[in-house]
Structure 1
């Protein structure tokens, strides 16, 4: 298949950004100019994702009883609602990206006018869903977005991932994109992590999955920039 790249902008939302975000990632707003540069490139498809939680979401510490309800510290074990034998341990977070709140909005400085599609995720209160594709349960999957179908309808071959946060939603989205059959590239300069010290482990997971981390000026980015010229040739 001919090279057909998509840009995937993960969760660049108010609640993940200083100064007022409920789950603000350090320096998260600094990546927006880089992301806007990517939005100006001739990608075949540009998709933004949004955490879009109900107020009673299972990942919110406020929805659990003390003492196991400290944001960032406490963890819980979630059972697959369709298969209690399948479980997932997840961290608890402050309430964030609640549907209908300012915190769930994409940043105003993001050039959203160049985005072709917005995919919402994390809407099923029963499961955590870091990935923009699906929750982590496999037997069976509980919550799935429209993202795979959108990418396949556009005949996408390669997915370029940017956004927040590098060690959670970006990581799981990138790995799922690769597992769905798209060659996946994470633009390291255009991500920020909740816990930067965890990134060595993230890179090992990428290597195992076949995801490639590149810089914003990498040759693989130049390949996207050259799309119109190639089309004319």
Structure 2
């Protein structure tokens, strides 16, 4: 038997360009999918908001599948990141659905949900690319890529160039900016005087740990107390 939420999402998508991720869309999806209203509300307590979340997560799943089948061996690491972001956007079949979702998650009471979705997307990208960082770098990588991803999505929404060529060029520039920051950090670490100056902050950040991947009670992270 098909997942009721997936059936609702499929039924909702034709209505989203006109009504957005709203209660009107949710009711239309319930009617069009012939799902019992009580069942629909059980799987989507927040109505269309839950469908918008499911739509975003569906795109993440498609990206990971495409990333898994891609040949990344000959790519530089920065190109692997760019390719993953591109695959995520290419998973979208209806740009208007994303535009409407962006409007929805820009609302103050839904903004935390939107931030959570973006964080989950970039976390899955880093994990798929083999990130093994176990200190503050775990957070900094995801915060940086969240900014790149968010900016690229907004640019992409207004991009009318053929094949979204302007978007991919924009994405490359943003990643180049990030790589320049990484080069500066590397130069600081190689400079004895600056390295000594940053010893305290680096020690502090080294004590910050990412969430335990298999522990539900260890989010957003943990602190490793110094030993006596």
TM-score range, shorter chain: under 0.3
- Higher RCO (CA-CA < 8 Å; seq separation 6+): 1
Give the number of the structure whose residues are more often helix, by fraction: 2
Higher gyration radius (CA)? 2
TM-score using structure 2 length: 0.27
